[in-house]
Amino acid sequence: MYLFKIEVDSSEGALTVILAAENEEQAFKEIDQHVERHFLYPPKLNEVAIVEKKRISAGTAYVIETRKG
């Protein structure tokens, strides 16, 4: 099992999704449903890209930078 960091360009803006999946194919299949559940009205997904992929083990994590506007 892997942990994927996925960046999505959508009609609602840029999104970062962290998703656990067996492989890249499964990650791409599941991204739509996770984004749809997050919004009241699902946005249009313009571009989806896997940025990082890590094998899941104890302590596996991603650090997500957020910029103060």
pTM above 0.85, yes or no: no
Of the pLDDT bands very low, low, confident and very high (cuts 50, 70, 90), residue 69 is low
Confidence of residue 26 (pLDDT cuts 50, 70, 90): very high
Confidence grade of residue 4 (pLDDT, cut at 50, 70, 90): very high
Number of Cβ within a 10 Å radius of residue 4: 22
Backbone angles phi, psi at 37, to 5 degrees: -70, -25
Whether the predicted pLDDT of 5 surpasses 90 = yes
> What is the per-residue pLDDT for 60?
86
